[in-house]
Structure 1
Amino acid sequence: MSVSEHIPSLTSEFVSTASGYQALREQARLVQVKLPDVDTPMWLVTRYEDMKEILGDSRFIRDAAKLSDQEGSSVVDQMIEAYGLPPEFGDYNGILVLSDGADHLRMRRVITRAFTAGRINALRPTLERLTRELHWTLSANGDAELLEEFCYPLACAAICELLGIVEVDQPQVRKQMMDAISGEPGRLVPAFTSMVERSKALIELRRENPKDDLISALLRVSEEEGDFDEKQIVAIVMVLIDTGVGPAAHFLADMILALLDHPGQLARLRDEPQLLHTRAVPELLRFTSSVPVGAPMYATEDLDFAGVRIQRGEAVIPGILAANHDPHEFSDDALSLDVSRELGTGAGHMAFGHGPHYCIGAALAQMEAEIVIDRLFLQGAAPELAVNRDELEFAARPGDGVHLKALPVRL
Structure 2
Amino acid sequence: MAAVHLTPELVEHPVGAYAELRSRPGLGHVVLPGLATPVRLVTRHDDVRAALGEPRLVRDRSAIADCELPDPQAELLAQGIEGLPPEYATYLSGHLALFDGDEHARRRGPLTRAFTARRVAALRPFVERTAQQLIEPLAERGRADLLGEFAYPLSTAVICALVGVDAADRDRVCGWIRDFAYGDGGRALEGLGGIVEYTKDLVARRRVEPTDDLVSALLADGGLTDDEIVGVFFLLIDTGITPPALFLAHAVLALLDHPDQLERLRADPELLSRAVPELLRYVTLVRVGATLYATEDFVFAGTRLRRGEAVTVALFAADHDPAAYDVPERLDVTREFGRGDGHLAFGHGPHYCIGAALGRLVTGVVLEELVVRRSAAPELAVDRADVPFGHWPGDGFHLLRLPVRL
Question: Would you call these one fold, judging by a TM-score over 0.5?
Answer: yes
Q: Offset of 1:218 from its aligned partner?
A: 0.5
Q: Deviations over 1:5-55 (max 9, x none)?
A: x31223344443322311111123522112356453211010111011111
Aligned residue for 1:313, secondary structure, equals coil
Q: Deviations over 1:101-134 (max 9, x none)?
A: 1221232222111111110110000110111111
User: Does 2:358 match 1:364?
Assistant: yes
Aligned residue in 2 for 1:174: 174
CA distance in 1, matches of 2:196, 2:270: 42
**What displacement does 1:178 show?**
2.3
1:194-233 per-position Cα deviation (integer Å, ceiling 9, x unaligned): 32222212211212221110001101112xx4xx201211
Matches within 5 A, 1:376-391: 376-380=370-374, 381-391=376-386
* Alignment partner of 1:336 is 2:330: yes
Q: Distance in 1 between matches of 2:100 and 2:121?
A: 29
Q: Which of 246, 255, 267 is residue 250 of structure 1 equivalent to?
A: 246
Q: SS in structure 1 opposite 2:144?
A: strand
Contact 1:29/1:46, CA 8 A, preserved across alignment: no
Taking structure 1 as the reference length, the TM-score comes to: 0.92
The match for 2:255 is 259
Residue from 268, 274, 283 that aligns with 1:272: 268
Aligned residue among 322, 330, 341 for 1:327: 322
Percent sequence identity is: 46
**Distance in 2 between residues matched to 1:188 and 1:315, nearest whole Å:** 30
The answer as to whether partners of 2:35 and 2:393 remain within 8 angstroms in 1 is no
Distance (whole Å) between structure 1 residues aligned to residue 377 and residue 286 of structure 2: 26
Match of 2:196 in 1: 196
Match of 2:235 among 226, 232, 239: 239
Which residue matches 1:77? 74
CA deviation after TM superposition for structure 1 residue 76, in Å: 2.5
Following the alignment from structure 1 to structure 2, what is the Cα–Cα distance between the partners of residues 95 and 406?
A: 28
Report the AA paired with residue 247 of structure 1: P
Q: Does 1:394 align with 2:389?
A: yes
C-alpha distance in 2 between matches for 1:187 and 1:315? 34
The match for 1:219 is 219
**In 1, Cα distance between equivalents of 2:187 and 2:302:** 44
**CA deviation map 1:266-315 (0-9, x unaligned):** 111122211212x1000000001111111010000101011111111001
C-alpha separation between the residues in 1 aligned to 2:385 and 2:255? 16
* AA in 1 matched with 2:172: Q
1:288 aligns with one of 270, 283, 290: 283
Residues 83 and 185 in structure 1, CA contact (< 8 A), matched pair in contact too: no
Specify the code of the residue in structure 2 equivalent to 1:376.
Answer: L
* Structure 2 SS opposite 1:346: coil
Q: Distance in 2 between matches of 1:175 and 1:76?
A: 29
Change (3 A) 1:134 1:237: same
For the residue of structure 2 that corresponds to 1:330, the secondary structure is coil
**TM-score normalised to the size of structure 2?**
0.93
**CA root-mean-square deviation:** 1.9
Q: Deviations over 1:346-387 (max 9, x none)?
A: 111111100000000111111111001101111121111111
Where 1:181 maps in the other structure, the secondary structure is helix
Q: How does 1:128-167 map to 2 (within 5 A)?
A: 128-167=128-167
Give the letter aligned to residue 351 of structure 2. H
The gaps in structure 2 that reach 5 residues or longer are none
- Distance change in 2, residues 1:208/1:379 (3 Å): same
Corresponding residue of 2:12: 16
Answer with 179-188 or 208-217: which moved more.
179-188
Residue 305 (structure 1) aligned to one of 295, 300, 303: 300
Residue 229 of structure 1 aligns with which residue?
225
Query: In structure 2, how many angstroms separate the alpha carbons of the residues matched to 1:274 and 1:343?
Result: 16
- Aligned 8 A contact 1:157 1:170 in 2: yes
Aligned mates of 2:343, 2:180 — CA distance in 1: 28
